[in-house]
Structure 1
Amino acid sequence: MTQSIPDKETTMSAEERISELEKELSELQQKCTFLERVVNEVPASIYISDLEAGVIWCNRTNEETLGYTLEEIKELGGIEYMYRIVHPDDHTVPDNSIDHYQNFNGTEYGGVFRAKHKEQKEYKWFIGWARPFQKNGEGKVKEILCVDVDMSPQMNTGEQLVQALRDNLKEKNKLLVKSLRKREVEVLSLICRGMSTKGIAEKLFISANTVSTHRKNIQQKLGTTNVADLVSLAKEAGLG
């Protein structure tokens, strides 16, 4: 009859087990301290935002860069806080980020925007990324993890900033075009090729009225008011 070999835990004395647990706890505390230091000293604002409640956690860099403590942010509420720090012309960036994750489960969303410290009047340029962090029971995104980097110390020339803004606009336009239905993309592609409403109708075997309806819906979704802007946006997004 073979005897079972006792495992390490059963052969250790209580004192030895306590000593080992204390060692493991000490190592865990050191690791947590190290990770906390990394998160707080990284040169980027890191925060977690609930799609309904707003910012629920942020690192020290975020507090120092924008002048609001986490407690102050929570008191203000997520939307009010974002509207206070973000330039009025760029309020669409946080709004679009929330809308993006309420309707789409893609991995990342990014944007370029201006924000300022609460004690300062001058805005600085930031580039930010977000990705799903927590989902609810229905599998929909509930919280997003965001990283914003102040671009001003990184940009050596105005040309770099202009290029960054161009790239951001291109990505934004790509997202807008992705919101179109398949038939709308077909119509938009033909518009970019300079085809008339009649020509598009004949090409797609649909009525001219249907083409006109598609054009109206496309312009409404993309936020354009004339054909020139429509074509420019589409080509910026890589269409046509």
Structure 2
Amino acid sequence: MPEQSSETDKIAALESEIRNLREKCAFLEKVVHEVPANIYISNLQEGVIWCNRTNEETLGYTLEEINEMGGMAYLQAIVHPDDLHIPEDSITHYQHFDGAEFGGLFRAKHKHESQYKWFLGWAKAFNKSPKGEVKEIICVDVDMSPRMNTEEQLTQALRENLKQKNRILLRSLRKREIEILELICKGCSTREIAERLFISPNTVSTHRKSIQRKLGTSNVADLVSLGKEAGIG
């Protein structure tokens, strides 16, 4: 009888553990599918291979549809044409992974809508090969279209993010180019800059063209705007 009782206790304990595991799995599954963000796994070769329910509802494609059309084709279908380089940049980033994660802003649209929405996304290395090469990444994208209750803070955060991005761009400039950009942002003309720096106006123009090429601006107004956003002038 003692042996039978012991065996019964073991079975009861095992059944209790199984119930607890099922409850835990159900809870975690609910969290994953109810969280107000698109969560998905992307294979560097195949594209999106799994997503949560929020992702399906936000963009209109079920996981089955995504798998059927292919993860890369799915991304091309939802992401704005001007932002398609972002998924490609993330793949390149993780193919040469150095420990820094990838994130940014992009536009995507629902399957049955023509209007694009802005998303703030972040990725993290999720699965690696035995050699340490990243094979899959987990991504979390937040739809920024719903009304924000902290609009002032959001505006400030985006402003700070833009300032930091432009500061990184400025690192590509040489010391003399920085000096010229500072004077341009202060409203100095080509001749005034030449006189202050004791160089010819042609040299100033050459430097300005080089600055615009490096920063991706097409005119002085955009150049001044970028410089001021980065804290210059």
Query: Structure 2-normalised TM-score?
Result: 0.70
Equivalent residues, number: 217
Structure 1 segment 1-240 matched on structure 2, within 5 A: 13-103=6-96, 104-111=98-105, 113-155=106-148, 160=151, 164=154, 167-168=157-158, 171=161, 174-175=164-165, 178=168, 184=173, 186=175, 189-194=178-183, 216=210, 220=213, 222-226=215-219, 229-230=222-223, 232-238=225-231
Identity of counterpart residues, as a percentage?
A: 53
In the aligned structure 2, how far is the partner of 1:134 from the partner of 1:219? 40
* Cα offsets for 1:82-131 (capped at 9, x unmatched): 221122233233333334434453135121x3322112223233222223
Q: Which runs of 5+ in 2 are unaligned?
A: 185-192
Tell me, yes or no, if the aligned pair for 1:116 and 1:124 is still in contact at 8 Å.
yes
- CA distance 1:198–1:71, change in 2 (3 Å): farther
In the aligned structure 1, how far is the partner of 2:88 from the partner of 2:162? 13
Tell me, yes or no, if the aligned pair for 2:173 and 2:214 is still in contact at 8 Å.
no
Tell me, yes or no, if the aligned pair for 1:110 and 1:130 is still in contact at 8 Å.
no
In the aligned structure 2, how far is the partner of 1:219 from the partner of 1:56? 41
* Cα offsets for 1:49-105 (capped at 9, x unmatched): 122221111001111111111122123223321221122233233333334434453
In the aligned structure 2, how far is the partner of 1:228 from the partner of 1:45? 38
Q: Which runs of 5+ in 1 are unaligned?
A: 1-11, 203-207
The Cα shift of 1:230 comes to: 4.4
The CA RMSD over aligned residues, in Å, is 4.0
| Structure 1 SS opposite 2:45 | coil
